[in-house]
Structure formats: structure tokens, C-alpha cells
Structure 1
């Protein structure tokens, strides 16, 4: 009973953000700084609590802002820095308010490269030093150096956590890529083996049975053997056997094609977002591994693009057939930021489709989502 109650709480999106491994220590630090303000001789100053609330609100909002909204992310981080420095100005004797900048340094390291983080924290620490000096603090430099050490420690932890997360995601994508390719190769090898067996049956067994049938027909035409029942039975059995072999050969040649569904689902499985919604028409039977590989890479790039740039939750992929052409449409439920332009990923997608004898078109829907339409030889 208790475990189900706890699970229900953690299923809440807001609480999942709060209880992230790197967020919980930050919120505990923010809470500790707030409690320490009660011991300041100006604890009733409303501006202090306004600065505390501003920092906490900007911190929490930042966790719900997509990473591709860089301007809003930078604005929230700047708000945190201003609130932390303002709080230091309002409560210079509190001693704990610069700890908020330790939280900020970890956030910067999780979002920006190390060089940008270093420059930003140097500027913020310079501001901290000036605020402490202006407020009459006797050991402003010592305070800045102490908290700069904490900032460096938190930044390094966040930096390596970010690197580990990126490496894990990259490994998951590579593993999914290998699983999808293996599924296509297994299907291709299976079909190749079926065709080989069909050719062997047709060329060897079929040829010999045909020769035997002709010989039996010649014997049946001989008056000395024409009335013997064994000849008639042998003719009938050889004809039936030849027909059975032809049916088997035809069945072996009528392959069901490569299983695109298994490969595409294996490709999308490691990605927590966006979720793949796949629809493949019943008349789609791919036998060319090169075309299947092209579709696989097209969907892979679409999933990556939707996750990175559109903040999509779902990607709908529909594959159908129109005569001798395959039609592939991919549409997410996100929103393209700014003007649609082809980066390296989309340009590579177009080149791959064109090389396979197909065409590719990119559109934005009325609600701003990206729609990819491709045609390939069936």
C-alpha cells in the first residue's frame, strides 16, 4: 500500500523533476539558505524573501524549459545570479547566501561548455566580491575564494555527470542502431537462403524430375509397356511430385520481405522521448536491403531531430505503397523553432534518399510541427 502511494507521487511530472539526483541537493541548499536568513538581523526584510523566491522559482522553471530555448534558459540563469547577488547585498552578514552561486555553477556546467561556464562564474564571482566590499564585509576576498572552491567542485561534478549522460545516450543510440541493422541483416540473410534453396530445387530436382517424366512418357508410348499399370502410376506420381516441387519453389520465392517494423521499433526503443507511433500498410513488402536501410536512416534522423530541436513527445511514421513507389511520411507533435532550415542531419537525409532513387520534401504544419515526406522505389 505504501509503495503504491509513493509510486503515485513520483509519477507526478513536477515531483520527478524535484527529485532528480542533481536537483534535490540544490533545493536542500536553497532551503538551508532560507532558514539561515531567520538569524539575520534584517530577517523581516521582504526584499530578502522576494530574492529567495525569485531564485527558487527561476531554478524550477529552468528544469521545464527545453534546451533548445537558449534565450529563455540564459534569462532564467541570469535571474538566479541577480537574485543571489541581491540576497548577498541584503544579508551580507548571513554568510550562507553565496551558496546559491554554487547551485548556479552546477547548472551552468550542465548546460554550457566548460569554457563558457568558467568565464560566467569568474564574472559572477567578481560581482560577488564587489557586492561584499560595497556592503562593508571585512573579508570579502576570503569569502569569494572559499565559495569559488565549492563552485569548482560542483561544476566538475555536474560536468562529468553531463558527460556520462551524453555517453550513455550515445551508447544507447549506437546499440539501437546495431539492433535495427541486425534485424534487417537477419531478414536479408533469411530471404537469401530461401532463394538459394528455391534455385537448387528448381535447377536440380526439377530438372531431374522433368527428365524422368519425359522418359516415363516415352515408355508409355511403347506398345510393350503401354498396358502395364506401374507405368501409369509412375507417370502420375512423377507429375504430382513435379507439381509439388514447383509449388514449394514458388512459396520459397514469395518472401514476405524485410520486417521493417521490428527494425524501426528496435531503433526507437532506447529513446525515452519521442515515442514512435508506426503504421506500415499491409501491401508493403520490401526485398531490397538498400531501400530498407534508407528508410531506417530516415526515421532515425527524424527521431533525433524531433528530440533535439522540436521537443516532441510523439513521432508518427506511416509507410504505404503507391504503385511502384513507397511513400513515407514522418510527423511529430513538437514545434519547429524559428525558420526551418536544413542542417547536416536533414541534408544527409536528403542525399541518402536521392542516392536511392527517391525524393524528399520538408514542410511545417499549421501548428508548426515538422513533416517529412519521402518517396522511394518499392
Structure 2
């Protein structure tokens, strides 16, 4: 977003791209502060040079400063919820209109151009149009009742500055939509990377299992037959020949033991690395700080279980980003005697009016096919999701 001062910028692994976006955010916020400083400076200069304006300087400075502080805080989506940011933004709008009332200077509507641009990251388009209409009416009243303009002059001024407000709304809204589209594309890219990793793990698991099976079924059986034949030959032979056959039989038994150890190792190491897939999915999710806690050394033996866990995390994060207005999410994955557990909770508002959609229904169906369960808890402010699947982790 154009004025997202503390926004958590997503990353596709390209540090240069992230640094460039951070630089633009800083420049945009700096431009907003510079605009406020220039407008305030000129108002104070005119108030000093033309006492007939009747500007109440202390009151104007206090109201203008309140507008600046609340507007900047309204950009702080990392620490403040959307509801608090909207409240601060509204206070800033009232403050700037009050400042304009006590400072009858024709270019003070520039303040609300910046204010409306910031609003594009806080409200849907429909609300923004109502805000534009409300600002138009408010400035008409300020100019006529507060500044003493006649009707024609007030209308001309409002129409003139209204076009600037319209331009700011359209450009800022366009930038906000483009930013959200980039965020969604990056999140989808993370989903793709996680899925690719999981498929790669499944392919590796299948190949190791095939190799282990072939070693056991072919080489193992042949070595067993060879050992039996050598045992028979040892009984039939005499002297030096019997001694050599016994040595060969011992070597065959040793080789068979080595093959069985290799087969066991291949099967034990065929677990799916679910942890890395989840880390790829949650890395630098836009506008959300994720705290990931995965039991050390936890690996999943079945690909279907690993895929179900990954899809649960994916769907939960998608719902959090779209509906919960959360700032933080906690993901915990561990194994116990009862099975494998996945817990996902956030600090958003989605738990207050929970309505299960197709995503949660699909999650329940996916878990049910694996004899798993899904439990939702809405106590407190956020939503807590707990999924449990039967079975044990690899090596347990």
C-alpha cells in the first residue's frame, strides 16, 4: 500500500526486490510528511504575515499535529488492529477539518488529499466513495460557514480540490489493489514451492521404497539361495575344497546381512520431510507474523498425512488473511501417543462470527479420509484450529 509505513513486506527470496519495496514505502511516507510540513509551514507563515486571517495558531498547530500523528499511526498495520487504525484515521480527519476551520487558508484541503490516500488501505471501495462525498460536503460547510466564502466561490473551490481528492483516491486505490495482487501472487508462489517440495519428497520416498523392495526381493533371495547351495556343497566336499566352500558360505551370509541392513536403512529414511514444506509455505506471509513450532526431528511416514497437514496449514492461513484481520498466527506441530497433532491459532476477529465455508468443510473431509479429526475453538478473540491424525511419526 502507498502509505503502509510498517507493513510486513513479502519476499520471494530476492532481497533486492524486498529492499526496493521498502525503499518506496519509506519514500511515500516521507512524501506525506513533507506535504504536511510544507502546508503547515505556509499556513503559519501567512498567519504571521496577515493577522487579519485571525488564525488561532496554538489551536491550529495542535490539531494539525494530531492529524499527522493519527494518520501515521493509522498506517501501522504491524502493531495495531484494523479497527484501531480506522478509529485513529477518523480522529485525524476530524482534527484536520477542525484545524482548517480555525485557519481560513485556501490550500488547507491538501491535508485531506493525503488523508484520503491513507484511507485506501483501511476501507473497501464503497466506503471510500462515501468518504469522498462526505469530505466534499464538509469542505463546502467549512468554506461557507467557517471562512465566510460566498456560495459560488465555495463551490468552485470544492470542485477544484475535489478533483485532486478524486485523483488521489483512484491512484491510491489502484496501488493498493496492485499491492494485494502481488501479495496474493507471492503467497500462491509459496504454496507452489511447498507443494513441489512435498511432491519431490513423495517421489524420493517412492524411489527409495522401490529400491529397498528390489534389493530384498531379488538380491536378498538370490543370496539366500546361494548360501543354501554352499551349505549343501560344504557337506558333500572334503578336505581343502570344503574349507573354501565354508569361507564362501560365510561371505554369502555376511553379504546377505549387509543387504538386509541396507534395506532397513532405506525404509527408515523414506519419511516425508513435512517440516520443510510447511516452512516454505509460511515464509514471509504478507501482513502476518507467523510463529512456527515444529517438534524437533518430526518426520511423517505417509505422504497422504503430510499432504493433509500442509493443506490444513494452507487453508488456515488463507482464511486468516482474508477474513480474520489478524496480525499474528501461531502454528504448532507435534506427535504424541494419540497421533500427530496440528494446532493453528490467530489473534484476529474470525472466531467471533464463525461460519464454516467450503475451505473448512474440505479440510474436515480430507482429515476424515485418513481417520483424522478437526476441532475449532472460538474462545477469546481469535480462532484456534486443532487437527489430529492417527499414526506415529517416523522413528517413533
- Compute the TM-score of the two structures, normalised by the length of structure 2: 0.79
- Are the counterparts in 2 of residues 317 and 328 from structure 1 also a CA contact under 8 Å? yes
Please say which of residues 271-280 and 158-167 is displaced more in the overlay.
Answer: 271-280
**Corresponding position of 2:99:** 87
Secondary structure of the equivalent of 1:64? Answer: coil
Deviation digits for residues 84-141 of structure 1 (CA, Å, limit 9, x no counterpart): 333333333x112111120122122222233331232023112212332333325222
**Corresponding position of 1:31:** 37
Does 1:110 find its partner at 2:157? no
Distance 1:337 1:61 in 2: 24
**Corresponding position of 1:123:** 134
Question: Matches of residues 305-324 of structure 1 in structure 2 within 5 Å?
Answer: 309=324, 311-313=326-328, 315-323=330-338
**Corresponding position of 2:385:** 372
Deviation at 1:80, TM superposition (A): 3.1
Question: Matches of residues 1-378 of structure 1 in structure 2 within 5 Å?
Answer: 20-38=26-44, 39-40=46-47, 41-64=53-76, 69=81, 71-92=83-104, 94-134=105-145, 135-138=147-150, 139-222=153-236, 228-271=242-285, 273-282=288-297, 284-304=298-318, 309=324, 311-313=326-328, 315-323=330-338, 325-332=339-346, 334=347, 336=349, 339=352, 341-344=354-357, 345-363=359-377, 368=381, 370-378=383-391
- Are the counterparts in 1 of residues 329 and 344 from structure 2 also a CA contact under 8 Å? no
Paired residues, number: 361
- Compute the TM-score of the two structures, normalised by the length of structure 1: 0.82
Distance 1:340 1:193 in 2: 47
- Are the counterparts in 2 of residues 306 and 312 from structure 1 also a CA contact under 8 Å? no
Distance 1:65 1:244, change over 3 A: closer
Q: CA RMSD in A?
A: 3.3
- Are the counterparts in 1 of residues 202 and 303 from structure 2 also a CA contact under 8 Å? yes
Please say which of residues 220-229 and 113-122 is displaced more in the overlay.
Answer: 220-229
Secondary structure of the equivalent of 1:228? Answer: helix
Distance 2:361 2:225 in 1: 58
- Are the counterparts in 1 of residues 234 and 245 from structure 2 also a CA contact under 8 Å? yes
Deviation at 1:371, TM superposition (A): 3.4
Distance 1:160 1:330, change over 3 A: same
- Are the counterparts in 1 of residues 344 and 384 from structure 2 also a CA contact under 8 Å? yes
Deviation at 1:225, TM superposition (A): 8.2
- Are the counterparts in 1 of residues 275 and 299 from structure 2 also a CA contact under 8 Å? no
Distance 2:183 2:376 in 1: 27
- Are the counterparts in 1 of residues 85 and 122 from structure 2 also a CA contact under 8 Å? no
**Corresponding position of 2:11:** none
Q: Structure 1: 5+ residue runs without aligned partners?
A: 1-9
Distance 1:247 1:66 in 2: 53
Deviation at 1:292, TM superposition (A): 0.6
Deviation at 1:72, TM superposition (A): 4.1
Distance 1:223 1:270 in 2: 72
Q: Structure 2: 5+ residue runs without aligned partners?
A: 9-21, 48-52, 392-396
Distance 1:96 1:207 in 2: 92
- Are the counterparts in 1 of residues 204 and 270 from structure 2 also a CA contact under 8 Å? no
RCO higher in structure (CA 8 A, sep ≥6): 2
Deviation at 1:353, TM superposition (A): 2.7
